Structures are given as structure tokens and as C-alpha cells.
Chains A and B, each alone.
Chain A
Amino acid sequence: MNYSLTILILLIPFATFLFNGLVGMKFKPIVSGLIGTIGLGVITLLAYLTAWQYFFVDGMVGGSFPKVIAMSMEWLRLTDALRIQIGILLDPISVMMLVVITTVSFMVHIYSLGYMKGEKGFERFFSFLSLFSFSMLGLVIATNIFQMYIFWELVGVSSFLLIGFYYSKDSAVAASKKAFIVTRFADLGFLIGILLLSYFTQTFDFKVLTGTDQSIFAQTAGVSFLGMSVMTWAALLIFMGGAGKSAMFPLHIWLPDAMEGPTPVSALIHAATMVVAGVFLVARMFPVFYFQAPDALTVISYVGGFTSLFAAAIACTQYDIKRVLAFSTLSQIGYMMLALGVSGYGGHEGVGYMASMFHLFNHAMFKALLFLGAGSIIHAVHSNVMQDMGGLRKYLPITHITFLIACLTIAGVPFLSAFFSKDEILVAAYEHNKLLFAVEFLVAGLTAFYMFRLYFNIFWGKETHYHHTPHESPKTMTIPLMILALGSVFAGYIPFSKLVTSDSMPFESHMDFGIAIPSVLIGLTGILIAWILYKKESKIPERISKSLGGFYQAVYHKFYIDEVYMFITKKIIFNCIARPVAWFDRHIVDGTMNGIGWITVTSSRNIKGMQSGNLPQYGMVFVLSAIILVLIFSFLI
């Protein structure tokens, strides 16, 4: 069976992007909204069909899921050896990502019809959403690392455009620039990594790179730089790109600020899809990492573990509900990275890989739900800050229930989706590295605590005096919430160990109750603490934060990472590099050019009097000069 229709998955969002972007403003806003939404609906259907076809109709070939090249064409031929293809690669993770992206994107499109209603630039918003969907889908089905890089940058640019959607707001503009510069800086590392890798392996192709034939890496043997093998360098540089997009420490600074964008955008880009591109990248290149650069994998696991703890701690202290969710996203992506870092290859060894993809899938559902729920709350209250909320459960019943489901899911309550994936991650961590296991175990508790701190503060607690009674959001916003709630409850029952595994071969995975029970208990403890502290208005949280003193302040200010960056960029780089360069540019480069211009102007002003327009004078000068020349030459020769 062929997959010729999969090309439409790319073309339809691109077409709606062009339509909405070029002629969208000629119609009523609702037209472009509907066109974008219907286009997304069609490709969601196509993605489901593709997944069904791939997993259940075609199924396994020789015991494992094959890598199918559904389409491939030559895009750029630099030399005979160096050709860049554009195509569609279907394998378990790309098919899974197709399902995730189209589902969440479709929900966000429907939701935006309600949320963005009456906003200026409605059609612009939808065209950017289409552009994003197009580039994200192109990223996951890339057949080679270069195609991935192209779409990687497109994703970055659409993220930039959407964060800066409210371009008249200074903070949004600053946030979009920050996001773009930080991720672009990381992408520089990615590009160098790609070039290193392809220089030594002579190929961009994922199928070749991740295949069983390891002889392509023969040239890298013995090449090392600064004490690390060249493959470790390449892998780490590629991971740097992934860390930038996935906002891993220390490149995480852009993600909290990115919450300046409209809330549906935060749900789609900065929670469910784009920020997991880094995880996807590592997963896509996993055999390369595992066989050629195991040191890089260790680095990934520690970066992931540290980020998850660090972000979870910050999330406990923030008051802006979207920022809490942003830090929660960081923490959960840290989980996924860690799971990849501790994973082995093949069979039950590869449980970390499977768990990471599983958690990515579940996380996309429940985090999109949380963000859309937060959007619904913001829509009702017109504020982002927790202190302006409280007792909202009476006014927003549907949002309340769905938000509660999402909170329970992320806290790891049994039989909801994240319970299964988090358990697998903990199993993988436990088998590989006890320290990282302990960190993740602690983070599981912290996650439950901060999510329920958020929940109780919003829906319970003291009821704030509202200027006008908050009311439930329209149907277009609540229906996606309900669908995603169903997704986050039942996604855990998908048998991931049969479908998405490190070597594409299914294996049996069992619930490990020795780990599941303690992790559930610590989650419940977190919920309980939040219940005690925030269910009713009390002075205890304030007293606790006072007693922690300096530590609390440090966490509240996100460990001053932003300030450190500001110090490095503004004080050191600006004063030591930018200023001398600017001086050189203004005085030496510009000075040379201005000097040449000045000389020309001055000399021409002084000699222009010689052109009097008087013809006999010209003739006189001409004749005299000729005579002088004749005399000179006759004496010289």
C-alpha cells in the first residue's frame, strides 16, 4: 500500500497559510478562521488514516516496523555526492508525531475561533497557525537531517511571529526577539553538528544514519578534539539545537517569556509540539547517539534531570498561571530528555526511549488541555495572575472539571495517562542511574504540589471580588477542552511498547509496582500538601515562604538566570566586544568612506571655476597645453 496522500498533510496547511496570508483580509475574519480549521480537520483525518494504515494494516515487516519513504524528490544538487532530498519518512515516531500535532493543532484551531474572536489580525493569526502546522509537520516527516533543519528554522520563525502577535505591546516584541535569538543561537550549534556529522559520514539521510550498518562511521574513528571524539562533539552540538528548541537549562530563558503570545499559541507551540522538537530530534537520531556517542547521551540525561528539578522548583513560586504552566512544561520535557538519556537500545533495554515517546504523547494532550483551560480562565477573568482568581469553580464548571482532570493526570494519579508514562520513565531511570531516579521521584511530588497549588488557587480559595461575573466560555472553546480531557484520560491505554520502540520491534512491558506505588504516594502527598495550604485561605504559605527567606527569593526570581544572561550580554559582551566593534565601524570604516567623499567634494569645488563655459578660453588652454606638451617631448627625446 502506498502513502501518496501523505503529501497532502504538508500541502493543505501551506495552501491555507498562503490563502489566509495573501487574500484573507479581503473576506470576513470568520472565513479565514473556518478555512484554516477545516484544512486542519482534513489533515487530522489524513494523519489518523496514515497511522491506522501504518500500524494496523501494513504492520510489521520481519518483526519490526519498517521505515517507509512515502515520497522523495531531489531538491538541491550541489555535487554528485552532496544532494539534498525532500521527502516523507514514515516510521513509528514520525507517524505518532503526525497524530499528536494534527490533533492538538486541530483542537487549538477550533478553540481559537472562540478565543480570538473580534481580535485585530484574526486572519493573520490563522495564517501563522497554518504556517506553524505546515513547518512542524514537515519537521517530523523529514527524510534527512537537512530537510529537518529547514523546517526547524521555519518552526522557529512561526514561533517568533506568534509570540510577537500583539506587536504593539513592547513586552511581546521583546519576548519574541528573545525567543528567536536564543533558539537561533542554539541552532548555530545544530548546524555545526550537522556539518560535522555529514562531513564524516557523507550522508544526511536518517535511514542510513540510523540504520544497522555502522560502517559509515568508520571515518570518525580516532578523530578527536579537546579530548572528546568527534562523534561526541557532533552529537552534543546537535543536542544543543534540540536543547534550544526544547528550552533545556541553560537555554530555557525564552520559554517563560514566550507566554506573551496568545494562549492558544502557548498551548500549541510552547507546550505540545514545538518545544518537544528537541526530544524528537534526539529520538530520531537515537541510534547515532547510543552507538557512537554514549557520553553525549549521559550529558542529555543529566541536563534533562537537572532541568526538570530546577523548573519544578521555580513553578512552585510563580503567580502568573501561564508561567507556572511554562515551567511545568520545562520540567516535563526534562523528564522526556532524561528518559532518552538513560535508555538502552532494543527490547526491554529501550524502555526509556519508549517511555519518553509515550510521555511526549500524553504530555501533548494534558498540557494543551491545561493551557487551553488557562486560556478559558483568562478569557473569563481578564487577568493572568493567581491573586485575581479564586472560587471560580462555580462560574466555569466545564473548565473546572477539565482542568482538574489535567491536573490529576500530570500529578500521576493512577489510571490516567501520565501515570503509565511516568512510571515507565521512573523504571528506566531506576535501572540506569539511582541519582537521577531520586531526582525524578522528588520532581513527581513537586509536580503534583505546584499543579494543585495552581488548581486550588484558581478554583477554590478566597473568592475575589470580580468586576463582572465570570461566565463560561463559548462552545468553540469548551468542546476542545472536553475532547482533550478524554485524550488525557485514555491516551495511557495505547500500547506504546507494541508500537513505538527504540528498534521498532515490540516488547512486553509490565507495570513495576515497586516503583509505581511510591510514585503515586508521593504524588498524592504533593496534592495533600497543596490541599492543606491552598484549599482555604490561610497564612501558612506566606509564613513558609518567609521562613525560607533568601532561598525562596532566589527561586522566585528563577535563580537569577535571566539576570546572569543580562549581565553577560549587556555588561561583558556589550562593553568588551560590541563597543570596540561599533567604534571601529563608526570611526575607521565609516571614516575612510567619508574621507574619500570629502576629498572628492572639496577638490571639485575648488577646480570647478575652470569650467567657465567660455569656448575661446577652452581653445586657448587646449592650444597652449598642446604646445607645452610638444616642447616637453621635443626636449625629452
Chain B
Amino acid sequence: MLQGIPITHVLIVSSFMFFTGVCGFIIRRNMITILMSIELILNAVNINLVVFNKYLFPDQLQGHFFALFVVGIAAAEASVAIALIINIYRRLNSISVDKVNEMKY
């Protein structure tokens, strides 16, 4: 599937995804959007894992499996994060991160 596509192209795509995620994480105020940005970051990493595995160790599968694990963990993390967000919404009637600053110090 990746035959003929140079590694640089794929890495450019993943870098783009990664920095999109980081920007979203920093700029957006809606927690759900932040959560989606985190998913973008994770998936950028997944692409890297698969690509490097393919180009560096073509006859091995560690990278692929690692990516699968990250997907699984990301699903679990998303469920926890959404549960937290729902609770925060019930308490504060808002899901803006600006309102959730009571946990400082």
C-alpha cells in the first residue's frame, strides 16, 4: 500500500496532523474540541509508528501493534475524559476550559 510513496510525504502529513492537534489544544476553549485535538495528536503518532516500522524494519510488526495499543488506550482515555466533561458540565453548566480553573495550587 505504501509502495512508491516516499517516507517524507507521509511524515509531512503526520507532522501537519500533530501541529494541528497542538494548535487546537492550545487555542480552543471547548473541552470536546480539545479532546478531539488530543485524538489528532495520538493518531499523528500512530502514523509515525507504522511508517517507521515499515521503512526501518520491514519484516517486523512491533510498530503496528504499538499503534493498535495506542488506539485502544486512546479509546479508554476518551471515555474517561468524556465522563469528566459531563460531570464538569453538570457542576458548572459550561464546558469551557476558562471556567475550570479551580484546581490550581
Chain A residues with a Cβ under 8 A of chain B: 608, 611-616, 619-620, 623
Segment 7-37 of B: residues with Cβ below 8 Å from A:
22, 25-27, 29, 34
Q: Are A613 and B22 in contact (CB under 8 A)?
A: no
| Assembled-state Cα–Cα distance A611/B103 (Å) | 9
- With A608-B105, A611-B104, A613-B103 as known contacts, state yes or no: A623 contacts B26, CB within 8 Å: yes
Assembled-state Cα–Cα distance A623/B105 (Å): 21
Shortest distance from the beta carbon of B30 to any chain A beta carbon, whole Å: 11
- Shortest distance from the beta carbon of B44 to any chain A beta carbon, whole Å: 14
Known: A608-B105, A611-B105, A623-B22. A616 touches B27 (CB 8 A): yes
Cα(A612)–Cα(B102), bound, Å = 9
In chain B, positions 47-105 with a C-beta closer than 8 Å to chain A are 97-98, 100-105
What are 14 residue pairs bridging A and B, where the CB atoms are less than 8 Å apart in the complex? A611-B105, A612-B101, A613-B101, A613-B102, A613-B103, A613-B104, A614-B98, A614-B101, A615-B97, A616-B25, A619-B22, A620-B26, A623-B22, A623-B26
Please tell me if the beta carbons of B26 and A613 are within 8 angstroms of each other in the complex. no
Q: Give the residues in chain A near B26, CB-CB below 8 Å.
A: 616, 619-620, 623
> Distance (Å) between the CB of B55 and the closest chain A CB?
21
- Closest-by-CB residue of A relative to B29 is A616
The interface size of chain B toward A, counting residues with CB under 8 Å, comes to 14
**14 more CB-based (< 8 A) A-B contacts, given A608-B105, A613-B102:** A612-B104, A613-B100, A613-B101, A613-B103, A614-B97, A614-B98, A615-B97, A615-B100, A616-B26, A616-B27, A616-B97, A619-B26, A623-B22, A623-B26
Could you say which residues of chain B place their CB within 8 Å of the CB of A616? 25-27, 29, 97
Query: Which single residue of chain A is at the shortest CB-CB distance from B27?
Result: A616
- Chain B residue at minimum C-beta to C-beta distance from A611: B104
Whether B25 contacts A619 by the Cβ 8 Å rule is yes
Query: How many whole Å from A621's CB to the nearest CB in chain B?
Result: 10
Query: What total count of A-B pairs have CB within 8 Å?
Result: 27
The 8 Å CB contact of B34, one of A611, A614, A615, is A615
For B105, what are the chain A residues with a Cβ–Cβ distance below 8 Å? Answer: 608, 611
Give Cα distance in the complex from A608 to B22, angstroms.
25
A545 and B53 alpha carbons, distance in the complex (Å): 114
In the bound assembly, the distance between CA atoms of A616 and B99 in angstroms comes to 12
CB distance from B32 to the nearest CB of A (A): 13
Q: How far is the CB of A545 from chain B (nearest CB, A)?
A: 80
What CA separation (Å) do A616 and B25 show in the bound complex?
7
Please measure, in the bound complex, the distance between the C-alpha atom of A440 and the C-alpha atom of B100, giving whole angstroms: 95
How many angstroms between the C-alpha atoms of A611 and B104 in the bound complex? Answer: 6
Chain A nearest CB, measured from B39 CB (Å): 15
A613 to B29, CA, bound (A): 14
B25 surroundings in chain A (CB, below 8 A): 616, 619
Q: In the complex, what residues of B have CB within 8 A of residue A608's CB?
A: 105
Q: Which residue of B lies closest to A620 (CB)?
A: B26
* A260-B98 Cα distance, complex, nearest whole Å: 75
Q: State the Cβ distance, A116 to closest chain B Cβ, in Å.
A: 63
B residues in contact with A612, CB < 8 Å: 101, 104
Instruction: Chain B residues near A614: list those with CB within 8 A.
Output: 97-98, 101
| Residues of B contacting A613 in the complex (Cβ-Cβ under 8 angstroms) | 100-104
How far does the alpha carbon of A613 sit from the alpha carbon of B25 in the complex, in Å? 15
Complex CA gap A619/B23 in Å reads: 10
How far apart are the CA atoms of A612 and B105 in the complex, in Å?
8
Q: Which residues of B contact A620 (CB under 8 A)?
A: 26
State the 4 A-B residue pairs at the shortest beta-carbon distance, nearest first.
Answer: A613-B101, A613-B104, A615-B97, A611-B104
Q: Which residue of B lies closest to A615 (CB)?
A: B97
User: How distant is B85 from chain A, measured CB to nearest CB, in Å?
Assistant: 12
Nearest A residue to B102, CB-CB = A613
Cα separation A20 to B100 with both chains bound (whole Å)? 64
Residues of B contacting A611 with CB < 8 Å?
A: 104-105
The docked-state distance in angstroms from the alpha carbon of A183 to that of B70 is 75
| Chain B proximity of A631: nearest CB distance (Å) | 16
Q: Which residues of A contact B29 (CB under 8 A)?
A: 616
The residue in chain B whose Cβ has the minimal distance to the Cβ of A626 is B22
Cα A620 to Cα B104 with chains together (Å) = 17
For B26, B27, B98, which residue has the most chain A Cβ atoms within 10 angstroms?
B26
Q: How far is the CA of A623 from the CA of B25 in the complex (A)?
A: 10
Q: A604 to chain B: closest CB distance in Å?
A: 9
Question: Shortest CB–CB separation between residue B88 and chain A, in angstroms?
Answer: 12
Interfacial chain A residues near B100, Cβ < 8 Å: 613, 615
With a cutoff of 8 Å between Cβ atoms, the chain B residues found around residue A615 in the complex are 34, 97, 100
State the CA gap A267–B77 with chains docked (Å).
82
Interface centre among B27, B101, B102 (most CB of A within 10 A): B101
In the assembled complex, the Cα of A486 lies from the Cα of B103 at a distance in Å of 87
The minimal Cβ–Cβ distance linking A101 to chain B, given in whole angstroms, is 68
The minimal Cβ–Cβ distance linking B80 to chain A, given in whole angstroms, is 16
B18 to chain A, nearest CB (A): 10
> What is the bound-complex CA distance between A34 and B33, given in angstroms?
86
Within 8 Å CB of B34, what residues of A? 615
Q: How far is the CA of A611 from the CA of B105 in the complex (A)?
A: 6
Docked Cα-Cα span, A103 to B103, in Å, equals 76
A182 to B29, CA, bound (A): 77
